[in-house]
Chains A and B, each alone.
Chain A
């Protein structure tokens, strides 16, 4: 975003369209990659999937790092998506603000919980 003041100031919409559009693609791609990596590890195993195997997948440091970045990616991806939903369907500013605050608290809380679980293994 180069000049966004004076006569160049963009006063309509959320005015961060491209940035959020692009970040939703990138975060979505990362989560798709994670899905394939996780599924591959589950499919190419022998025998029943027990606790040791399941926890073993997430015990690897590279998997922890990947899962961590996926949790952060999810946080931003869902924020952009839910904000779009509220912007489309909820017009009163007060209700929209409350829902957006709820979304942020909900997401940050969930992300914190997920990260805590990840580092318990």
Chain B
């Protein structure tokens, strides 16, 4: 075997990361960020499923329960203040928007060969992040009565 003219440069080794020491300095590309947030938003909606169905229930069951539904967000229920309900709803709005847009991105990548490139992965991830956060801010402003 011939010797290499120049010995290869020592490269950084990448192994499984440690959640406590590496996550804080781990730099994810936008596509990686979209991916992990897709998971986070999915788990969040899974855990808040009873709250979502409670909203479905109280808003639909009767005129009276509809008023209770509105009251929960305007004045609160029991010791839980209205702004807390709005905050949870805002988290759900973000989770749904992110999951929705990132999901459409997934579907698009599944049907289009042109979409499976590094460049498209980057640009579509940036679009996903910008769009989901912008729409969350717009709907959040409406939710908290800013307009």
Contacts and interface: CB of A to CB of B under 8 A. Distances in A.
Contacts, number: 55
A106 B49 contact: yes
A14 B114 CA distance: 29
Interface string B113-139: 000000000000000000000000000
A118 to B, nearest CB: 8
A58 B60 contact: yes
A64 to B, nearest CB: 11
B71 to A, nearest CB: 13
Interface in B40-57: 42-43, 46, 49-50, 53, 56-57
B83 interface: no
A110 B49 contact: yes
A55 interface: yes
A41 interface: no
Interface in A80-109: 81-82, 85, 103, 106-107
A114 B104 CA distance: 25
Contacts of A81: 42, 46
B103 interface: yes
Contact of B39 (A25, A32, A85, A120): A85
Interface of A: 25, 28-29, 32, 35, 50-51, 54-55, 58, 78, 81-82, 85, 103, 106-107, 110, 113-114, 117, 120-121
Interface of B: 39, 42-43, 46, 49-50, 53, 56-57, 59-63, 66-67, 100, 103-104, 106-107, 110
Given A106-B46, A113-B50, 18 more contacts: A25-B106, A25-B110, A28-B103, A32-B103, A51-B67, A54-B60, A55-B66, A81-B42, A81-B46, A82-B42, A82-B43, A82-B46, A106-B49, A110-B53, A114-B53, A117-B53, A117-B56, A120-B61
